[in-house]
């Protein structure tokens, strides 16, 4: 099973002051996912690409096992889909993330901005919308850069089961059940 949320678009600048000089809260604090524009939705993706790693589901328990094997369309250096516009044609089981689908997906990493916003939580300091720098997610060690294996080189997925994609980055928190 492979899934990936919408890839990030260009991040808007920091929130501007209102007429009273107070800063407006950023859109992810003001809006529900369903209220976001397409550009806002796309910019929520932090570019970690953890969702673009293959997952295995145990047929008996239903438990999700994460692997370090990347989808064949994932650019391992950029941590972005190499053919985002046509990904569903090329990878039929690619998941197009929507607010409605988000409620049914149990394999997104706990640090995923879509998941955090849905749960009423704020974005971490390393998120590009907070830091203003798309490289901050990589410098913080959150992304799959340098940790993932290309699908064509992996062999059996069962040989690549790892815990880190389902855990809060930096070892804080616990793996998803």
How far apart are the C-alpha atoms of 139 and 46, rounded to whole Å? 12
Q: Which residues contact 21 (CB under 8 A, 6 or more apart)?
A: none
Residue keyed to tokens 């830091």? 131
Is 20 part of any domain?
no
Entry pTM: 0.81
Q: For residue 13, is it within any domain?
A: no
Each residue of 42-81: pLDDT tens digit? 999 999 999 999 999 999 999 999 999 999 999 999 999 9
Q: Residue 82's pLDDT band (boundaries 50, 70, 90)?
A: very high
Position 22 confidence tier, pLDDT thresholds 50, 70, 90: low
Which stretches of the chain are assigned E, i.e. beta strand?
A: 53-57, 64-70, 74-75, 80-81, 149-150
Share of the chain above pLDDT 70, in %: 84
- Whether 64 is covered by a domain: the verdict is yes
**Domain tally, the chain:** 1
Cα of 53 vs its chain's centroid, Å: 10
The answer to whether residue 17 sits within a structural domain is: no
The pairing of strands 149-150 and 64-70 is parallel
Neighbours of 147 (CB within 10 A): 16
Residue 43 neighbours by CB distance under 10 Å: 22
CB 4 within 8 A of CB 109: no
Please state, as a whole number, how many other Cβ atoms lie within 10 Å of the Cβ of residue 164: 18
Query: Distance between CA 146 and CA 22 in Å, rounded?
Result: 41
Within a domain: residue 4? no
Summarize pLDDT for 125-166 with one digit per residue, the tens: 999 999 999 999 999 999 999 999 999 999 999 999 999 999
47 located within any domain: yes
Share of residues in the chain with pLDDT > 90 (%): 80
First to last CA, the chain: 17
pLDDT for 121: 95
Domain span at 52: 27-167
Answer yes or no: is 68 within a domain.
Answer: yes
In a domain, 42, yes or no: yes
Q: What confidence score (pLDDT) does residue 170 get?
A: 77
């Amino acid at each position: 099973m492979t899934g990936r949320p919408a890839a990030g678009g260009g991040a808007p600048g920091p929130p501007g002051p209102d007429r009273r000089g107070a800063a407006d809260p950023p859109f992810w604090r003001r809006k529900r996912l369903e209220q976001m524009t397409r550009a806002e939705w796309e910019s929520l993706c932090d570019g970690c690409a953890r969702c673009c790693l293959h997952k295995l589901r145990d047929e008996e328990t239903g438990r999700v096992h994460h692997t370090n094997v990347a989808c064949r369309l994932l650019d391992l250096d950029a941590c972005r889909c190499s053919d985002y516009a046509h990904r569903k044609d090329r990878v039929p089981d690619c998941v197009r993330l929507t607010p409605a689908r988000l409620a049914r997906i149990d394999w997104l990493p706990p640090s995923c901005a879509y998941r955090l916003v849905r749960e009423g939580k704020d974005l971490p300091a390393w998120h590009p919308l907070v830091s203003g720098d798309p490289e901050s997610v990589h410098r913080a060690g959150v992304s799959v850069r340098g940790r993932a294996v290309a699908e064509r080189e992996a062999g059996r997925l069962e040989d690549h089961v790892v815990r880190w994609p389902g855990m809060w980055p930096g070892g804080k928190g616990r793996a998803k059940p």
